[in-house]
Amino acid sequence: MDLPRRFILLFFMVCCSPTVTAAQDPLETPLGQELLTLLTNEISGQMAFNNLVKLAGAPWVRDPAEFTSTFYETQQLYDLVQSYGIETVRLEKYDRDGTFTYPRTRGP
């Protein structure tokens, strides 16, 4: 019997033979599904990527209200840290004159 025929015969024997597979239960863990999903997303980097896109995904012109209160990115990071259960986070605010200038772009 030549090699290709042996390979084909072996292939069909493996594929067509009845197999006995034991049904396996998922590993037992004291962690809840919500926490396992959170860890999976964090380990894969998906949450980090989503946060990066949210904070630096594209440039935009700021809402004028941001100049008198808290910048968008600052508030997002504050909310994110609180969502992780860290209660000691706080925003530091300092007195300022309230004037900002954007860097000039090309043109007049």
pLDDT digits (tens, 9 = 90+) for 41-100: 778 787 788 888 888 866 778 788 877 788 888 888 899 889 888 889 999 888 777 666
pLDDT digits (tens, 9 = 90+) for 1-13: 565 666 566 665 6
> Greater confidence, 100 or 29?
29
> Greater confidence, 20 or 39?
39
pLDDT of residue 106: 66
The tokens 């004291």 sit on which residue?
30
